[in-house]
Amino acid sequence: MSMNYTELTTNIQDITENTFTADQLAMFVKLAEQQIYNSVQLPALRRRQNGVVTQDNEYLTLPTDYLHNHSLSVTVNGVTRFLVYKDMGFVREAYPDRTATGVPQYYAQYDENTLVMGPTPDTNYNAQLDYGYYPESIVTAGTTWLGNEFDSALLNASLLEAARFMKSEPDTIANYEKMFVMSLGLLKNLGDGKLRQDTYRAGQYRSPVS
């Protein structure tokens, strides 16, 4: 089963037995997407950017749609080397002389637009950044991975937002919330469980599945 945006908004209004404006429906759905995307890790939320880290520049400018990091690697003599993610204090403590250069070993979040590496690159290296981002909303795209593959989570989360907007009875809100939690649990079993059973780094979150 899948659901496009038109079908989703029709179901929201049919189930709640209410009519909403286009802006209100868009708000419900976007809030639902944000809730889901921040609750579970999915391949649809992952993007890759290939570029270059430059000699004598310890900073790497992030893509405009960057939310969080997955990994950063550089290619040295044809071999891919993954940098280890640390906090800013570690990088500054480990490499206090920012003019000292070498093959980058660590990286940290410097600010919302920039990563910092240590040591400072001693030459240009091809780099690959894997990061998390918000995919285009079903509101504007019409169809998305979430609507196609796990529409129950999207619908239940949207219904919950609509019920809150309507100031529905507490038992009604509680029922929508229960349904959302159930569908989100199934989605987490997929995204944080089945799709991550062979994750190389144990530090990346994953939940056990049977």
Per-residue model confidence as pLDDT tens digits over 104-152? 999 999 999 999 999 999 999 999 999 999 999 999 999 999 999 999 9
Separation of alpha carbons 87 and 154, rounded Å: 34
DSSP code, position 103: S
Separation of alpha carbons 193 and 208, rounded Å: 6
Beta-carbon contacts of residue 207 (< 8 Å; ≥ 6 apart): 188, 189, 192, 193
The continuous run of DSSP H or E covering 187 comes out as helix 170-188
Separation of alpha carbons 14 and 139, rounded Å: 18
Q: Output the six-digit token pair for 143.
A: 């169809």
The residue among 180, 115, 148 whose CA lies nearest residue 42 is: 148
Confidence of residue 207 (pLDDT cuts 50, 70, 90): very low
- What's the pTM value of the predicted model, to 2 decimals? 0.81
Separation of alpha carbons 180 and 41, rounded Å: 17
Tens digit of each residue's pLDDT (9 = 90 or more) over 39-83? 988 888 999 999 999 999 999 999 999 999 999 999 999 999 999
Separation of alpha carbons 113 and 106, rounded Å: 17
Tens digit of each residue's pLDDT (9 = 90 or more) over 177-206? 999 999 999 998 875 644 444 444 444 445
Helix (H, G, I), strand (E, B) or coil at 76: strand
Helix (H, G, I), strand (E, B) or coil at 17: coil
Q: Output the six-digit token pair for 106.
A: 């660590």
Phi and psi dihedrals of 146, rounded to 5? -65, -45
- Which residue type sits at 197? Q
